[in-house]
Structure 1
Amino acid sequence: MISAKYKLLLCSGIVTALAACSPADNATVAARPPTAVKVSPLKAELVQNRVQALGTLLAKESINISSNVTEKITALHFDDGDKVKAGQLLITLQQDEEAAQLSSARADLAEQERELARLKGLIAKQSAAQTEYDQRQTAKLRAESKIAEIQALLAERNIRAPFSGVMGLRQLSPGALVSPGTSISTLDDISVMRLDFQLPSLGIGAIATGQSVVARSEALGEDFDATISAIATRINPVDRSITARALIDNPEGKLKPGMLMLVTLITDEHEAVMIPESALQSIQLRHYVWIMSGEKLAERREVKLGIRKPGFVEIRSGAKAGEQLIYEGFSALQDGAPVAPQGSD
């Protein structure tokens, strides 16, 4: 049996233990001195989702100027870098033989026309047969066809600009023998530039014709406004990318075909609360921030994140504009601990 004295000691110990667990002694967090922290009000700002890609510039129209026939160059009617108009004569090839053939064909036509006029008078006097007149009429048509054929040969020996643009560097000189496929020079219409760039096919819903993009040339250190004019109808099966084409006005001719451009595409624009990444606490896949309540107590909140930009991250839920963010001095805080705000930087 337990003695009365032992029972008294046992009951005294239980009472002491219960007293140690009382709510008054459990408020050690609130009894601590306030922790010095730095706070700043959360603000909503306009943010943009941006997608970047590399693109290559192409001229609006671009060709290598060559000859359709094998012949010698007799004259070049342009200098390097000249601006030319559509239809302007650029190159003359040797054409003496064709010119002689044209003179002969014209003489034959003139003869057929004279004979037709003579036969027409004789037919009126019933001194010539209608069949003879018809034969001369056919001969006249053949002479006209021959002239058209020779004129086509002459046109191949007078190379003209198919569109307005800027000439490139001359590759040959007068007297050189050219053949089909030999490049004599280049012609580019750079008044408007085409910019082709690739995007992941997952972003196809974020682009549309008529959409504005910004294209930056690091070589020039300048940004240019562009507009998407077309989107490819097929996705590349190798890398699952899709090609889009944008147009850039180039009135001063700064942009050149082949230049590399960094394309920035704005896919979304909205109001968001952004905080410094340094104010974020992450534990595995969960993210937290510390908020100072109106009673100057620290409150840890779980938040959902959105887009990121250098040094900052979007808070989509868990905190809102107007609340006081503790962005420095929260490493040793406990939930509900008093804080002493020191202001913001």
Structure 2
Amino acid sequence: MISATFKLLALGSIATLLVACSPAENPAAMARPAPFVKVSTLKTEPVQNRMQALGTLLAQESIDISSNVTEKITALHFNDGDAVTKGQLLITLQQDEEAAQLSSAKADLAEEERELARLKGLIATQSAAQTEYDQRKTAKLRAASKIAEIEALLAERNIRAPFSGVIGLRELSPGALVSPGTSIATLDDLSVMRMDFQLPSLSLTAITTGQSVIAHSEALAEDFNATISAIASRINPVDRSITARALIQNPDHKLKPGMLMLVSLVTKEHDAILVPESALQSIQLQHYVWIMNSEHKAERRTVELGTRKPGFVEIRSGIRVGEQLIYEGFTALQPGVTVSPQEG
């Protein structure tokens, strides 16, 4: 009997302790501090849709200096890298034969002019026929034409700059025999650069002449402003791309033909909600953000992403302007949990 009574007393004590520890009777026992989170109010910001492409630089004007005739070089009137002006004499080819022919032709012309003067006096006294005078006039014209022909041959042997620009590295030396198509040096007008780049044909309506683009050079670590000057009239049937050409002012000649440029152009600007990339949760192909509602409870929202820019991403749907975004302290949250906000 004593043993049974003792057991009953022990069970009663345990029950009393369980009741004393019951969460229902002691709400303070189950209360936990609300997790601290950092929040910010969602708002819209201007966002630019950009397209990027690779472009290649070309000089505004560019040629390989060559000869129209097969002849020896007698003199080069430039040094490597010289800046030259339009019409400046660059190369003299051998022209002794043409010079002799020109002297002979000028002598013939002078002779014809003297004969014309003599015949004119004779005609005045009716000592010569008009037909003889007319024949001499024709001979004078032929002599003048011969001089023009020889001067044209001489001009081909004095090679001049067709435009102002910068000479490249010369390929030949005086005494070398050149023929048509042989490159003696290059000449480039570097004051303005042409930049050709390709874009998908689907973006045809997003570009127009006069549109500004940014061209970045990795070699120079510098951005350059460019303006689209022309768009190709045909689409490449192989890769369905279209070529656009932009012009870049290059007064200090930093840019060189053949350089690779990263082209960036704005196709559209609109207002959008941007959130820090660190506030984004991604599970496979689904993306989420956490929102604190008006009751300070956490909600996880499925969102659709849009344009990205360094450190931020556009949210196209799933959240609204004015809501409170939880951008720190959300990793251990559960939906419906009360949070303690700290304005960011």
Q: Distance in 2 between matches of 1:294 and 1:321?
A: 14
Which shifted more, 313-322 or 157-166?
313-322
Is the contact between residue 198 and residue 243 of structure 1 (CA under 8 Å) also seen in structure 2? Answer: yes
Q: CA deviation at 1:292?
A: 1.0
Residues 214 and 225 of structure 1 are in contact (CA less than 8 Å); yes or no, is this contact kept in structure 2?
A: yes
CA distance in 2, matches of 1:97, 1:285: 82
The answer to whether 1:251 aligns with 2:251 is yes
For residues 171 and 332 of structure 2, the distance between their equivalents in structure 1, rounded to whole angstroms, comes to 75
**What is the CA distance between 1:96 and its match in structure 2?**
0.7
The alpha carbon displacement at 1:343 in A equals 4.7
Indicate the residue corresponding to 1:42 in structure 2.
42
Q: Unpaired segments of 5 or more residues in structure 1?
A: 1-30
Provide the rounded CA distance (Å) in 1 between the counterparts of 2:219 and 2:288: 43
2:272 equivalent in structure 1: 272
Q: Distance in 2 between matches of 1:277 and 1:154?
A: 72
Aligned to 1:134: 134
Please give the secondary structure, in 1, of the residue aligned with 2:169. Answer: coil
Corresponding position of 1:22: none
1:65-144 aligned within 5 A: 65-144=65-144
Q: Structure 2: how far apart are the matches of 1:303 and 1:47? A: 18
Q: Deviations over 1:101-121 (max 9, x none)?
A: 011111111111111111111
Structure 1: how far apart are the matches of 2:81 and 2:288? 62
Q: TM-score, normalised by structure 1?
A: 0.85
Match of residue 221 from structure 1: 221
Counterpart in the other structure of 2:5:
none
User: 2: distance between equivalents of 1:92 and 1:182?
Assistant: 15
Contact 1:32 1:338 in 2 (8 A): no
The offset of 1:127, in angstroms, is 1.4
Does the residue aligned with 1:202 lie in a helix, a strand or coil? helix
More off after superposition, 315-324 vs 81-90: 315-324
Does 1:263 find its partner at 2:273? Answer: no
Q: For 2:242 and 2:294, how far apart are their aligned partners in 1?
A: 52
Give the whole-Å Cα distance in 2 for the aligned partners of 1:178 and 1:165: 23
What is the distance in 2 between the residues matched to 1:333 and 1:287? Answer: 16
Amino acid of the structure 2 residue aligned with 1:48: Q
Which residue in the other structure is 1:17 paired with? none
- Aligned residue for 1:174? 174
Distance in 1, Cα, partners of 2:128 & 2:205: 81
Greater mean deviation of Cα atoms: 42-51 or 323-332: 323-332
What amino acid is aligned across from residue 237 of structure 1 in structure 2? P
Quote the Cα distance in structure 1 between the aligned partners of 2:175 and 2:95: 13
Letter of the structure 2 residue corresponding to residue 233 of structure 1: S
One-letter amino acid of the counterpart of residue 145, structure 2: S
Give the secondary structure class of the aligned counterpart of 1:169: coil
Q: Distance in 2 between matches of 1:284 and 1:223?
A: 37
Q: Partner amino acid for 2:69?
A: V
Deviations 1:137-159 (A, max 9, x none): 11111111101100000000000
> Aligned partners of 1:169, 1:300: CA distance in 2, in Å?
66
The amino acid across from 2:190 in the alignment is I
2: CA distance between counterparts of 1:189 and 1:342?
A: 61
> 1:264-289: CA deviations, max 9, x gaps?
11112222211133433556766443
Letter in 2 for 1:74: T
Following the alignment from structure 2 to structure 1, what is the Cα–Cα distance between the partners of residues 255 and 281?
47
Q: CA deviation at 1:61?
A: 0.5
Question: Percent of counterpart pairs with the same letter?
Answer: 81
Q: Which moved more, 1:38-47 or 1:133-142?
A: 38-47
Residue in structure 1 matched with residue 341 of structure 2 by the alignment = 341
SS in 2 for 1:189: strand
TM-score by length of 2: 0.85
Take 2:72 and 2:280, find their aligned partners in 1: how far apart are those partners? 76
Q: Do structure 1's residue 199 and structure 2's residue 204 form an aligned pair?
A: no
Q: Could you tell me which residue of structure 2 aligns to residue 242 of structure 1?
A: 242
What is the match of residue 151 of structure 2?
151
1:262 and 1:188 mapped to 2: Cα distance?
Answer: 22
Residue 189 (structure 1) shift = 0.5
